[in-house]
Structure 1
Amino acid sequence: MKTIAIIPARGGSKRLLNKNILKLGAIPLLVHSILYAKANSNIIDAIYVSTNDEATKKIAQEYGAKIIDRPEYLSGEFEPTLTALQHALEVIGDSTVENVILLQPTNPLRPENLLHEAFERYRISDSDSLFTVTRNHQKLGRITNNSFEPYNYAIGQRSQDLEPLYFENGLLYISKSRLIREGKIISENSIPYVVNHIFASIDIDTQDDFDYAEYLYQKLITYNS
């Protein structure tokens, strides 16, 4: 049975134009995810980029990814990732595909051994999916009627004594293809895989996000190579 990677990279981003093909370091943003998948070829049998954008298709092909031509009606700003994955599986049409690894181009930097370790955890489990999370260390609250109401702490409580809460960081998702066809990426029995790494703080949607990613890339990768 096969394991494939799907990288959804539609064109038409509003807040950061041409986001997926902007160069982070010396290569376009989405290429970081393609190269990460290629570096894990012992797990991933094929790499697909789902896009409606011609420039993205050209770049993805140059770096060895297969193209899924995503129709415009599945490429809107508010279209969920799920429909892109379902469409990709339909186009691929390979009944031997068992697992889908979702790599979002907006999370371009990942710990080197993350996929290997996470996939092994997933493989030996009975779960239909795995996704990465990171612990939140902030004091959160709500504002109601102009008044702040603490949510995960009591006023005066030390940050290190907060109840552990986690956020979905977007670095990595692994799902059974069957689950995606049924309309889910994360299942009820999904494994939350904890990643405590600075790369988990990167999720590019704005220019500030991109600038932060560029800073970390230069500091932690370029300078240390």
Structure 2
Amino acid sequence: MKTLAIIPARKYSRRLPGKNYKELGGLPLFWHSVNYARINSEIIDEIIISTDDSIIIDIAKNENLRVIERPVNLGKDTTSTLEVLIHVLENIKEKYDCVILLQPTNPLRPKNLLIDCWKTILDTNSESLFTVSRNHRKFGKIENDNFKPFNYTFGQRSQELEPLYYENGLLYIAKADMIKNGKLMDENSFPYIVDHPFAEVDIDEQVDFDYAEFLINRIDNQ
């Protein structure tokens, strides 16, 4: 299959301005996803950056990376990732069978993650796949100043929690036709389980950025 990697890197970030080009480990944040795509060139045929940020455009073009510039209406904090993916597919001439979404806010990924996910989606013949991680926290609701456990009972050990999972954002794979029809995933998408510290990195604020920097330094020092 012919495969396209899309890296959406918009300009606006309310909680961490300039986030997508802020340097992490000596590289702009979004460039970690570019490098990840490049080391998986056996799977990925082309990389496209979707952005409305002139700084990101300049960085990408200086490195001969293809850019699809977003219109103003797709640069808002209410813009969905799906809208961005559809915009890219509608504004290129080439036809791709599959799209791999690499979010800049998840810059750290296990080395063989894409290889393993790609094998899984082929073996299962799934239309799409996304990565998830196991939740190990005790959640509850507060109603009328009373705490009501949601996924456990009072006194229950963490080891006995019902297995629940969350989208970690590391990786999404979907058939291009599925995206064009308005879906990135659905109830039939394959949930690929990732048990790795990188799955906890999702950069929205400075503290998330600092944690990612900590992990990078640990890797470099090993």
Superposed pair shares fold, TM > 0.5? yes
Return the alpha-carbon distance in structure 2 between the equivalents of residues 38 and 107 of structure 1. 16
Q: Which residue of 1 aligns with 2:35?
A: 35
Match of 1:85 in 2: 85
1:1-150 alignment, distance < 5 Å: 1-95=1-95, 97-150=96-149
Q: Which residue of 1 aligns with 2:221?
A: 223
Partner-residue secondary structure (3-state), 2:109 = coil
1:193 paired to 2:192? yes
Shift of 1:64: 4.1
After the TM superposition, which residues 200-211 of structure 1 pair with which residues of structure 2 at under 5 Å, given as runs? 200-211=199-210
Q: CA deviation at 1:62?
A: 3.3
Give 1:46 deviation, angstroms. Answer: 0.1
Residue 183 of structure 2: SS of its match in structure 1?
coil
Amino acid of the structure 2 residue aligned with 1:113: N
The answer as to whether partners of 1:128 and 1:187 remain within 8 angstroms in 2 is: no
Match of 1:155?
154
Q: Which residue does the alignment assign to 2:170?
A: 171
RMSD: 0.9
User: Which whole-Å CA distance do the structure 2 matches of 1:215 and 1:17 have between them?
Assistant: 20
1:52-81 Cα offsets, whole Å, 9 max, x none, are 111001112334421011111111011101
Question: 1: CA distance between counterparts of 2:207 and 2:62?
Answer: 28
- 1:93 to partner: Cα distance: 2.9
Distance 2:76 2:132 in 1: 27
How many Å separate the matches in 1 of 2:114 and 2:46?
15
Q: Which moved more, 1:173-182 or 1:59-68?
A: 59-68
Please give the TM-score of this superposition, normalised by the length of structure 2: 0.98
How many Å separate the matches in 2 of 1:152 and 1:12?
Answer: 35
Give the AA of the match of 2:24.
Answer: L
Give, as a single letter, the amino acid of the residue that structure 1 aligns with 2:144: N
Separation of aligned partners in 1, 2:89 and 2:53: 19
- Kindly provide the CA deviation profile for residues 119-171 of structure 1, in whole angstroms up to 9, marking residues without a partner as x: 11001222110000000000111111111000111100110011100000000
Q: What amino acid does structure 1 have at the position aligned with 2:32?
A: H
Deviation track 1:74-124 (CA, whole Å, cap 9, x = no partner) reads 1101110111000000111323x0000000000000000000000110012
Provide the TM-score with structure 1 as the length reference. Answer: 0.96
Give the aligned length.
222
Unaligned 5+ segments in structure 2 are: none
Alpha-carbon distance in structure 2 between the residues aligned to 1:60 and 1:129:
28
Distance (Å, rounded) in 2 between the aligned partners of 1:212 and 1:145: 35
Q: Provide the identity percentage.
A: 53
Matches of 1:140 and 1:218, distance apart in 2? 32
State the Cα distance separating 1:222 from its structure 2 match. 1.6
Q: Secondary structure at the match of 2:124?
A: coil
Q: Residue 141 of structure 1 contacts residue 151 of structure 1 at CA under 8 Å; is this kept in 2?
A: yes
Distance 1:154 1:179 in 2: 40
Q: Distance in 1 between matches of 2:86 and 2:30?
A: 20
Secondary structure (helix, strand or coil) at the match of 1:173 reads strand
1:213 maps to: 212
Contact 1:134 1:166 in 2 (8 A): yes
